[in-house]
Amino acid sequence: QSEIRKRLLELFSHSETEFISGQKISELLGCSRTAVWKHIEDLRAEGYEVNAIRKLGYQIKSKPDKISSNEIQLGLETRILGSSIHFEEVTTSTQKLAHKLAYEGVDEGTIVVTEEQTEGRGRLDRKWFSPKYTGIWMSLILRPNIPPTSAPQLTLLVAVGVAQAIQEVTGIEPDIKWPNDILVSGKKVVGILTELQAEPDRINSVIIGIGINVNQTQEQFPEPINNTATSLSIITGKKIDRALLLQQILLHIEKLYLTYLKNGFKVIKLLWESYAINIGHQMVARTIQGDIKGHALGITDDGVLKIQSDNGEIHLIHSADIEL
């Protein structure tokens, strides 16, 4: 049943504005025209707007504001990312679920998406607020053939892909703050969390969590982040199509990922630098070993941050919180 639904939406994803006749759909899906009609009715009940015109057939005019597998699938143009979609209406954390699936051996490109996380998390077990129907909370599973030490490059790659997609869908030009934040007007819109299942010299899988504030109002941000967080909708003053944004994110990340696997980090680094805000500025890097104050020189070819402290010494920072 859900397989037919998936194929039905696939048919429409190739002809978004076109009509497809009931006869043709029933032939392609191998079910009766009554069954086709029934599936269309089900879509309507879920909030799809479907035009039905005698002699022309069916056309999907709009999707509901949801990001379950169907809405992601319809119009998705990627080959790898999203080839398998695990959707949960609510879950503790998509990272947790993705770790489990990765361990069980799911294919590269599998994504885990939810409408709400009850235990969304950031780095160092910090909390990530993930309220219902307002954002994109997802985890990607990749299996690149790279050494574990190169994995941080993927955080930067994903940040570029998300920034490009945000720019394309909303017109906003976001900033990237090393290593894992995307900011707009100095406030955090996106957080990225990269985790590994690896042996010392080999990656089994990389699990990349992406959290994006899309349609929240300012009042929806709770006290500790009320002044530091914002959403795309607050900035544009418009409601944003989350499914479309999600699809564009997958598409941009996939393009960058394929380039990266083929040509290495160089091109990604250049793109990343074009979005970076903290390079060339004074900053404090709060690391587990202590604070380092200085001038950010840039990132190395591995994606490591280079800071020159006031006494001229150069530090390589692998992991830190940055204060500008």
- By CB under 6 A, name the binding residues for ligand BT5: 93-95, 117, 120-123, 126-130, 137-139, 180, 188, 191-193, 209-211, 213, 224-225, 229
CA 293 to chain CA mean position, Å: 32
Nearer to ligand BT5, 108 or 195 (CB): 195
Compute the distance between CA of residue 38 and CA of residue 32 in angstroms, rounded to an integer: 10
Nearer to ligand BT5, 43 or 138 (CB): 138
The CB-of-96 to ligand BT5 minimum distance in angstroms stands at 7
The CB-of-128 to ligand BT5 minimum distance in angstroms stands at 4
Nearer to ligand BT5, 193 or 268 (CB): 193
The CB-of-305 to ligand BT5 minimum distance in angstroms stands at 14
Compute the distance between CA of residue 28 and CA of residue 50 in angstroms, rounded to an integer: 19
Whether residue 75 contacts residue 40, with contact meaning beta carbons closer than 8 Å, is answered with: no
The CB-of-148 to ligand BT5 minimum distance in angstroms stands at 19
The CB-of-208 to ligand BT5 minimum distance in angstroms stands at 8
Nearer to ligand BT5, 48 or 272 (CB): 272
What's the alpha-carbon Rg for the chain, to the nearest Å?
Answer: 21
Whether residue 299 contacts residue 306, with contact meaning beta carbons closer than 8 Å, is answered with: yes
Residue 281, helix vs strand vs coil: coil
Nearer to ligand BT5, 58 or 128 (CB): 128
The CB-of-106 to ligand BT5 minimum distance in angstroms stands at 16
Q: Read out DSSP for 197-246?
A: EEETTEEEEEEEEEEEE-S--GGGS-GGGTTTB--HHHHHSS---HHHHH
Nearer to ligand BT5, 40 or 190 (CB): 190
Nearer to ligand BT5, 75 or 191 (CB): 191
The CB-of-108 to ligand BT5 minimum distance in angstroms stands at 18
Q: Which parts of the chain fold into alpha helices (H)?
A: 2-13, 22-29, 33-45, 69-73, 94-104, 151-170, 232-236, 242-263, 266-275
Whether residue 181 contacts residue 213, with contact meaning beta carbons closer than 8 Å, is answered with: no
Strands 202-213 and 187-199 come out as antiparallel
